[in-house]
Structure 1
């Protein structure tokens, strides 16, 4: 008899990936009590704790917890492959594309069209996620390749640069910097910042300021790009984002200016990545060649 369900495995793996019940609940769109109950039941069944709980600190995996989650993620990946095979017909080839959440509105639809044109007999699916989710998906095989920024990937990944992306400062039409055609990081250092809630994105932006010896104040950490844009349009600070929608108003209709950041070292490559550096199979090679059309 199976005493731990696949859903409970999924919940525990999410807690391990995101480091807290609140973050995992947000990404899974479930309640924190549901996650807490699932974790308690799994630990009771196993007879040992998976996480060390310390007040005011992230939930740290125990050695047993780390081993459990590694095996659980492998199990979930196999279950996903079985489920997908049942949905699409036994034996049908599949390709799973990942895309970083802020890049998805700009790149995902075109990518799917390119892949389906080049691989008409392959069932193409996709997953939109943050950096950590994409990296873990590539490592455990739930994603075959991903469109993302090159940061945070080590030498175990094969990365092909598609184009270079520079950040933009988003400000209200009445901001002190609004009349400048472009701004430098030093121009922005004295203004409150609106950063992404996504950990690696925020860390990267702050690291840019550290390179010039500045430590700006962070006024907000927004859960999405549109919330960043809205806060900036209402004068809550300067939002810094590599994604630059062409609309000159925020989601709620307030005028918004997008000023290029002039510091050349702030540019970041957008890459097509897969896990592993050796030769790949013919299907992945065709898919990679199709997506390299994003190169500029």
Structure 2
């Protein structure tokens, strides 16, 4: 196999198209002796002359030169197309922001912020990865997400993050529940009631338990578990038990009378809303999105116009 350098092929094409070594040198902005050296190197590798050299006449391709010229154009064309494709992918990657977000946050907290960013910055493509707390943290740690947003009682080990807000949690039950309509419910009374909870154990389960303990609720006896929050909601509305959830996810159900919020005395149940970047330093687009989310969340709360989709916490 004859090894032909890309630069040598460019010189060959330039000589063939301009008809002279001097014309090729001018087109490629190199010295004429350099053109001669490239052609001589190609001829040595090909083992034959590629041009007929006659003083005062244009450089004419030999039969072998014509075949090499066809090959050169094909190779350089393929190289140019590949380069353009890779450059396009690179530019598309620079415009793409992969955002990992905990599902209740994506559904009930961030829609106004994400919609606002999309309107103000159409040059960016936003790819949302909604998942559990553990999945969001994994995306950030392995770099598959540019930034992420999640609920936590504090910093997550091994992950640099900052607090951009505080979200309230609520205890809700069916209107027919014995505690519905009562005054402030004490932790002691709640300890005697049944709860409906998610079936899976995860890092968020530990966060929930820590939040409830801080509110004085040490025990939450379980009546039923479900993998989907849609089922947890239905079990709660059916009177099976009490559900502890992000207050914004059930705001419309409470307003519609499908669920009631139980007034709990003592320390409010809250978690930090935290933002973390998956790469250091973050890309310009990721930093812009993070700053935009933080700025929009600092404004007065805008209710979500559609009911939040239910999914695992």
CA shift in 2, pair 1:183/1:146, >3 Å = farther
In structure 2, what is the equivalent of residue 272 of structure 1? 275
Instruction: State the 1:184 CA deviation.
Output: 4.4
SS of 2:196's equivalent? strand
1:237 to 236, 241, 252: 241
Instruction: Answer whether contact 1:170 1:259 (CA < 8 A) is retained.
Output: yes
1:145 to 132, 147, 155: 147
1:124 to 126, 137, 140: 126
CA shift in 2, pair 1:186/1:267, >3 Å = farther
Q: Deviations over 1:31-72 (max 9, x none)?
A: xxxxxxxxxxxxxxxxxxxxxxxxxxxxxxxxxxxxxxxxxx
| Structure having the higher Rg | 2
SS of 2:91's equivalent? coil
Instruction: Answer whether contact 1:195 1:202 (CA < 8 A) is retained.
Output: no
In structure 2, what is the equivalent of residue 201 of structure 1? 204
CA shift in 2, pair 1:261/1:143, >3 Å = farther
Instruction: State the 1:196 CA deviation.
Output: 2.2
CA shift in 2, pair 1:249/1:224, >3 Å = farther
In structure 1, what is the equivalent of residue 24 of structure 2? none
In structure 2, what is the equivalent of residue 295 of structure 1? 298
Instruction: Answer whether contact 1:115 1:124 (CA < 8 A) is retained.
Output: no
Using CA pairs below 8 Å that are at least 6 residues apart, which structure has the higher relative contact order?
A: 2
Equivalenced residue count is 208
Task: Provide the rounded CA distance (Å) in 2 between the counterparts of 1:153 and 1:270.
Answer: 10
Instruction: Answer whether contact 1:102 1:243 (CA < 8 A) is retained.
Output: no
In structure 2, what is the equivalent of residue 91 of structure 1? 91
CA shift in 2, pair 1:169/1:194, >3 Å = same
In structure 2, what is the equivalent of residue 215 of structure 1? 219
Task: Provide the rounded CA distance (Å) in 1 between the counterparts of 2:138 and 2:242.
Answer: 31
Instruction: State the 1:105 CA deviation.
Output: 1.6
In structure 2, what is the equivalent of residue 248 of structure 1? 253
Consecutive unaligned residues in structure 1, runs of 5 or more: 1-84
Instruction: State the 1:287 CA deviation.
Output: 1.4
Task: Provide the rounded CA distance (Å) in 2 between the counterparts of 1:168 and 1:274.
Answer: 29
Instruction: Answer whether contact 1:160 1:273 (CA < 8 A) is retained.
Output: yes
Instruction: State the 1:118 CA deviation.
Output: 4.1
Q: Deviations over 1:160-184 (max 9, x none)?
A: 3232122211111121210135544
Instruction: State the 1:255 CA deviation.
Output: 2.8
CA shift in 2, pair 1:274/1:243, >3 Å = farther
Give the 5 Å matches for 1:31-42.
Answer: none
Task: Provide the rounded CA distance (Å) in 2 between the counterparts of 1:144 and 1:102.
Answer: 19
Instruction: Answer whether contact 2:196 2:222 (CA < 8 A) is retained.
Output: yes
Instruction: State the 1:195 CA deviation.
Output: 1.5
Task: Provide the rounded CA distance (Å) in 1 between the counterparts of 2:184 and 2:217.
Answer: 20
Task: Provide the rounded CA distance (Å) in 1 between the counterparts of 2:158 and 2:194.
Answer: 37
TM-score normalized with structure 1 length? 0.60
In structure 1, what is the equivalent of residue 165 of structure 2? 163
Instruction: State the 1:290 CA deviation.
Output: 0.6
Consecutive unaligned residues in structure 2, runs of 5 or more: 1-84, 300-313
Task: Provide the rounded CA distance (Å) in 2 between the counterparts of 1:291 and 1:111.
Answer: 5
